[in-house]
Amino acid sequence: MEADFVIVGSGSAGSAMAARLSEDGRHSVIVVEFGGSDAGPFIQMPGALSYPMNMPRYDWGYRSEPEPHLGGRRLATPRGKVIGGSSSINGMVYVRGHARDFDTWEEMGARGWAYADVLPYFKRMETWHDGGHGGDPEWRGTDGPLHVTRGTRENPLHAAFVTAGSQAGFELTGDYNGEKQEGFGPMEQTVWKGRRWSAARAYLKPALKRPNCTLVKGLATRVVIEEGRATGIEIRRGGTTQVIRARREVILAASSINSPKLLMLSGIGPAAHLREHGIAPVADRPGVGRNLQDHLELYIQQECSQPVTLYKHWNLLGKALVGAQWLVFKSGPGASNQFESAGFIRSRAGVEYPDIQFHFLPIAVRYDGKAAAKAHGFQAHVGPNRSLSRGAVTLRSADPAAAPVIRFNYMSHDRDWEDFRHCIRVTREIFAQPAFDAFRGREISPGAQAQDDAALDAHIRDHAESAYHPCGTCRMGRAEDPEAVVDPEGRVIGVEGLRVADSSVFPLIPNGNLNAPSIMVGEKMADHVLGKAPLARANVTPWINPRWQVSDR
């Protein structure tokens, strides 16, 4: 039970690192994963995405503490407990983030993580299939392990949504992952040949065919630190405790919830908090577990006056037929996550780049698959992308089996409320455009009666849901920054031989879904671990709206 590199977590970043670190055959890698196999139709069928994130077999089942600004609700915080981690239970939406997000990371102390630095890694990791819908080939990858595709967009509501965005005066974009994020256009997904293309499928499974890459099942309980250096990982499996030794480095890629928890269990974190739980501090890093960020969203739902939505499949026979078509042919509605149109807009004049994101869906249903509207309908998931609210992950106890305390502190800034009200009103404005005239029924949610600020605030308080994008809890920064947990190469400040590489290192939440930037972090950190020169910086200029100072569109 010994290897050059021991990686905790087989998720988006962990799988990518395992593949890259074992690639040339010179180094041995052990990946520790608590979850089990990703086999089975619920994970592999894109259209079944609401199932795995609600199955205890695949999900850690975390919940937030009662959120004070959301009426004391406890929000679901799914994290993948399975090969591939959250990339095996997520919505498969593929968004790199805006170029300015990464430039901001560098300004916040993550040197070498500006957009020019990370774009080559985004290109290295993907094989992009435009599906005949246009795009920016020179910004995209052609031979990476991760297949990125677009849905068929056959449902007429997808075109209606994009056209309505344009009619409302907003931009169009042929490729929000290319030169121009701002605007309405096709959405991308990590689906290939009708199946979920998780990080496990793209990276880990090919790597495990090599003699120098091994998967070990067990619960990581702490990092073994000797004389200031990480020398291994203690794991529990089959009722026994074992240590897996790392000859070179231990790498935590256990998620923005479990990586800070593991650091704290190992004595790395806010010293006073560790002592409360009887843990002797090894490195006093007050930033461990802090800076927790997420995206909140609402589902703005409208009845559809024509029977063109996915609701026609929303019955036992319909689901059986969709399932059968997928099982036999890997085609039909089950072969897509159904998020096939997107929008990125700015909330107001003076905002330089988009801070609102839309996922459009041709059915009115909750993300967890519950409470489908009892009629044909469509919806846009919408929310502000750069909330000022910050939360924290802390220990509940020193027992590694205990779930951590997760407090997002959602909606703790006045600006968040202002931005969310705008999100509702601008979505209504888009749904009111001529492109929807042939389809528009009554508003299901929030409902036409909710118009003034107080009514919208009450709806937000009762119905805002997480988009499941937690990050930031072990943030990168300058070594002298007391709030930074890792330096720009992922090395934990104050401990030798230990790195973190997952969404917890993000200084700022990116503008979009987190799977793509998490994989990119794994790709780039692998080069840092191996001491390789980083890929050559890109020489491109992203599109910024020339009207940004005077208009929101």
Are 443 and 520 in a shared domain? Answer: no
Residue 128 contacts residue 140 (beta carbons within 8 Å): yes
Instruction: Indicate which CATH number applies to the domain containing 496.
Output: 3.50.50.60
Distance CA 306, CA 358 (A): 22
**What are the φ/ψ torsions at residue 31 (nearest 5 degrees)?**
-105, 125
SS (H, E, C) 83-147: CCHHHHCCCCECCCCCHHHHHHHHHCCCCCCCHHHHHHHHHHHEEECCCCCCCCHHHCCECCCEE
Which DSSP symbol is given to 68?
G
The answer, yes or no, to whether residue 2 has pLDDT greater than 90, is yes
Tens digit of each residue's pLDDT (9 = 90 or more) over 392-410: 999 999 999 999 999 999 9
pLDDT in tens, 231-287: 999 999 989 999 999 999 999 999 999 999 999 999 999 999 999 999 999 999 999
Q: Are residues 114 and 250 in the same domain?
A: yes
Output the pLDDT for position 450.
97
Give every CB contact of residue 454 below 8 A, 6+ residues apart in sequence: none
Report CA dihedral (407, 410, 412, 418) to the nearest 10 degrees: 180
Last residue of a domain, one of 430, 445, 463: 463
**What is the band of 369 on the pLDDT scale with cuts at 50, 70, 90?**
low
- Tally Cβ neighbours within 10 Å of residue 396: 13
Task: State how far the Cα of 283 lies from the Cα of 306, in Å rounded to an integer.
Answer: 61
In angstroms, rounded to a whole number, what is the distance separating the alpha carbons of residues 440 and 379?
A: 11
- pTM, to two decimals: 0.98
Amino acid 365: pLDDT: 85
Per the domain annotation, does 215 fall within a domain? yes
Residue 250 · residue 497 · CB < 8 Å: yes
Residue 354 Cα distances to 20, 150, 367, 386, 461, angstroms: 33, 22, 23, 9, 24
Residue 364 shares a structural domain with residue 278: no
Q: Are residues 286 and 428 in the same domain?
A: no
pLDDT over threshold 80, residue 373 = no
The reply, when asked if residue 382 is annotated as ligand binding, is no
pLDDT of residue 199: 98
For range 447-456, the mean pLDDT: 97
**Spatial distance between the Cα atoms of 118 and 207, rounded to a whole number of angstroms:** 23
CATH of the domain at 416: 3.30.410.40
Q: How confident is the model at residue 368 (pLDDT cuts 50, 70, 90)?
A: low
The reply, when asked if residue 82 is annotated as ligand binding, is yes
Q: State the distance between the two ends of the chain, measured CA to CA, in whole angstroms.
A: 57
Pair 194, 337 in one domain: no
Give the whole-angstrom CA distance, residue 245 versus residue 191. Answer: 36
**Is there a domain that residue 62 lies in?**
yes
Does residue 546 lie within any of the structural domains?
no
Range of the domain at 171: 152-186+296-384+412-463
pLDDT of residue 314: 86
Query: Residue 540 falls within a domain, yes or no?
Result: no
Whether 541 is covered by a domain: the verdict is no
Q: What percent of the chain has pLDDT over 70?
A: 99
> Which residues, including other chains, have CB under 8 Å from residue 168's CB and lie 6 or more apart?
426, 429, 430, 433, 553
Q: What is the DSSP letter of 437?
A: T
Q: What is the pLDDT of residues 315-360, one digit of tens each?
A: 889 999 999 999 999 999 999 999 999 999 999 999 999 999 999 9
Give me the mean pLDDT over the 210-233 stretch: 98
Cβ neighbours of residue 342 under 8 Å, at least 6 residues apart? 95, 176, 184, 185, 186, 187, 357, 358, 359, 360
Q: Mean pLDDT across the stretch 355-369?
A: 88
547 part of a folded domain:
no
- 90 in a known ligand binding site: yes
pLDDT tens per residue across span 420-451: 999 999 999 999 999 999 999 999 999 999 99
Which of 285, 283, 289, 288 has its CA nearest to residue 225? 283
Average pLDDT across the chain, whole number: 96
Residues 438 and 489 in one domain: no
Instruction: Kindly state whether residues 90 and 209 are assigned to the same domain.
Output: yes
Asked if residue 417 belongs to a domain, the reply is yes
Residue 515 marked in a binding site = no
Tokens at residue 162, please?
């994009």
Active site positions, annotated: 469
Q: Cα–Cα distances in Å, from 516 out to 190, 235, 495? A: 9, 29, 28
Find the mean pLDDT for residues 8-23: 98
The pLDDT value given to residue 371 = 60
91 among annotated binding-site residues: yes
Q: Show the tokens assigned to 146.
A: 């991760």
The pLDDT of residue 385 is 97
Q: How many domains does the chain have?
A: 2
User: What are the backbone angles phi and psi of residue 404, rounded to the nearest 5°?
Assistant: -75, 170
The pLDDT of residue 203: 98
Percent of the chain past pLDDT 90, that is, above it, reads 95
Examine the domain organization and report whether 7 and 67 are in the same domain. yes
Are residue 130 and residue 235 in the same domain, yes or no? Answer: yes
- pLDDT score at 134: 77
- Answer yes or no: do 165 and 288 share one domain: no
233, part of any domain: yes
Between strands 341-345 and 240-252, the pairing is unpaired
219 and 320 in a single domain? The answer is: no
445 beta partners: 301
pLDDT tens readout for residues 514-537: 999 999 999 999 999 999 999 999
Residue type, 387: S
Residue 260 vs residues 403, 474, 500, 503, 506: alpha-carbon distances, Å: 12, 6, 9, 11, 13
pLDDT exceeds cutoff 80 at 372: no
Q: Same domain, yes or no, for 484 and 514?
A: yes
What is the pLDDT at residue 370? 65
